[in-house]
Amino acid sequence: MINGNWGHCQHCRYFASLARIPLAGEEARCLQPELSRYDLKVFGASGCKAFELRQGLSKEVEEPTAAPHLSM
């Protein structure tokens, strides 16, 4: 059953990229056990609630960043 937290594919352990740190524009298969039957190809910028953090990345990569400050 999928009940994890939402996260981006590029930071997910199921994103079938050979890159150590996949990029947002990269396309790869989703190997999540419940979703793999659909043979999904997803972009790094995509995401879902079956997300699990990719090995070697810190959880801070999925924390929202503050909006850039605009000076006038």
Which of 18, 22, 30, 38 binds ligand SF4 (CB under 6 A)? It is 30
- Report the alpha-carbon distance of residue 49 to residue 27 in Å, rounded: 18
Residue 14: burial class (beta carbons within 10 Å; 0-12, 13-18, 19+)? buried
Binding mask 32-51 toward ligand SF4 (x if CB under 6 A, else -) reads x--x------x---xxx-xx
- Report the alpha-carbon distance of residue 52 to residue 4 in Å, rounded: 7
Using the rule CB under 6 A, is 54 a contact of ligand SF4? no
Contact set with ligand SF4 (CB under 6 A)? 7, 9, 12, 14-15, 30, 32, 35, 42, 46-48, 50-51
